[in-house]
Structure formats: C-alpha cells, structure tokens
Structure 1
C-alpha cells in the first residue's frame, strides 16, 4: 500500500506547487493602472519597442515633458544619443591628425540586433500589431519597414531588403490609400536605395491624393 499512497502524495504535491504559482487578480491589483490618453498608450508602446532594441525615429519635441523625463531618468545612453555622439566624434576625428579612440568602441551598442533574427522578427510582428491600434502612425510605419529590411537581410532570403520593405509598404497602402505619411516614408526609402524615379512616382501619387481629398 506504500506505493500508491506515495504516488498520490507526489501528485497532490505537484498540484499544490502549481496552484502556488497561479497569480490571482488580488495579488496584482495594486500594481495595475490604466492609460487614459492615446499619447500615454503610444508612449508605452514606444518604450516597449525601445526596450527590445527597435529603432524608433525621433519625431518628438525636446520641449516635451515626456522626452525630458526620459532623458533625466536614463540609466544608460540610448541609441539616438549615442548615434549623435558618434557623429560628433567622427567629425572631430576628421579635423585632427592624431589618432583617437572612437566613441562607438567606448559606448558599444545597447542592442546588437545584427545576429538576432528571432528578436527582429518579434519586433516586426509586434509593431504590425501596434499599427492596428495606432493606424496611420508614421513612426510605427517607419519602424516596421526598417525591421523588415533588417530581418530580410539576416535571413538571406531570395528577396532583397529593399524588395521586402517595398512589398510591405504596398500592402499597407492597399489597406489605406490615403495614408500620405506612409507614402512619404515609402518614397524616402526608395530614394535612399537610389530608386529616384520610383520615389517620384510615389510622391506624385501622394500629391494627387492630397488634391482629391481637398476637392472632396
């Protein structure tokens, strides 16, 4: 009779152990909060993407209280600030003959995504989901096109990074042809890759859409 009893004791112990891991609403209710404004919700999304190493454009005002709070609470140098410092270092080194240790080697990279395709894919999918909540958000649109390029380059697929971002931009525009800011981002990416004629077509399309919207 010792065997079955021992088995029952073991199984009940596992059940109790599992129950002890269950998080009840009462356990976390004092830590829960709600965000009433869209700006606050979007700020949380941006911080989430930034935490995982996503590239978010600095389309913000330095006078913004949220921007100042973020800078004052930094525990380490963020990507955008480190990029500015690196650019300044490059300019300084060009004007001096003596060799200097670059800031890039001192600062390093907060988020090295070059060898992490899984994380880049996760960021891409997360930003796409965020676009459902924040449609026509040019910051998220640019971020998802950039992560698409990065992921395609890492995967070494038959599609080039430029073609991958182009296909995604076209799909997003099919859903909303009046998204003029997306047209601007799409055109700028084409111009960046040397496709000036294609970029002009995109900007022309945006201008025609603007005229049509004004007439209506």
Structure 2
C-alpha cells in the first residue's frame, strides 16, 4: 500500500482527494493537514510514503518551505506538489525545494494517480508540458554557454536581494526585511538584472537556484 498524507488549506479539496484516492486498492490516505507545519508534523507522526502537498496554504507555512524542511528531516518521503500554477518559475522552485513531482490541480484523475505511484516508486514525476519546459531550458543553457562571470560582479547586497526576489518576495517586503527603502531595493534589483543580462523573474529564479541562493529557513 502507498500511504498518503494530503496537505491543502481547503477542507473540501482534502475531502475530495481523500475520497478519490481511497477508492484505489493500492493507496491509503492515512492523514491530512491544513498547512505546511501540520504537514510536517503529520509526516513525522505517520511516516507516509508520499505527501501530496499544496503549493500555497495561507496563512500557514507554504508548501515549498514545508517541502524543504520535510526533505531534510525525512528524505525518504516523496513529496508531490499539487498546484494551479502552470508556470516555470513555480516549477523550478518546487524542484529546488526537493519535491519529487509537480502536477496541476486541473490534471485528470488518472494522471494524479499515476504521479502518486511514480513518486512512491522513487521516480520523479512532471506533467508533460513541464517536461518540455525543462528540456527547453536545458537546451537554452547549452546554447547560451552560460558563464558565471557576470554573477561575480554582484555586490553582497545585490546577491542578498537577488535571493529574496527569487523566493517571491515583493520589493516592499524585501525593504522591510533588510530595513532599507523600497527605492533602494528597486535600484539594486535594476542593477543586478542589468549586470546579469536578465529580462524576467523566471530567469533570475533559475540563476539563483544554480548559485544555491534559494535556501529555506
């Protein structure tokens, strides 16, 4: 039996997923959680094979932070991110956090079951278009021949702000964390984007992951 913990902030979603999964002969739902902290606690208590983790669970701990913490404590537990975000930025953040799989909430039930079984078997699972995005990114990196040179020109403060941006924080939130003005954050952001030759946040996220800046505390 594949033992599952479901983590989602909506009780209706948890109930629906539980009803769906309990109908499978090889899957058993052994617990559920409403946020990241509860998901970690349930995993430590019940030792599941897979945690089906929602990406966003306000106001509690989000799925990515919980995934990173859970994989540190229980690396043998597979985490399958269930999300509505069909966006490469979220995909790369999930992979960096240690997720074993990433699937959309809009996916057919059969695909969700297949994803759970794959993760339980120790095989990474990505929905089809996500695989294409990863392949394209890898091809683009090879074509660009990405150099580490520009990154080394960043100041320590620029690297720090780059890490906050990559984790999804707004300019205002970064300013509050670092006790500086929003205008200063914007200036540093503009400078580092220019130095690195980046055009978008997803590009920044990928480089931040490569440089090991996206640790989760």
| TM-score, structure 2 normalization | 0.27
* Greater share of helix: 1
* Greater share of strand: 2
| TM-score, structure 1 normalization | 0.27
Larger Rg: 1
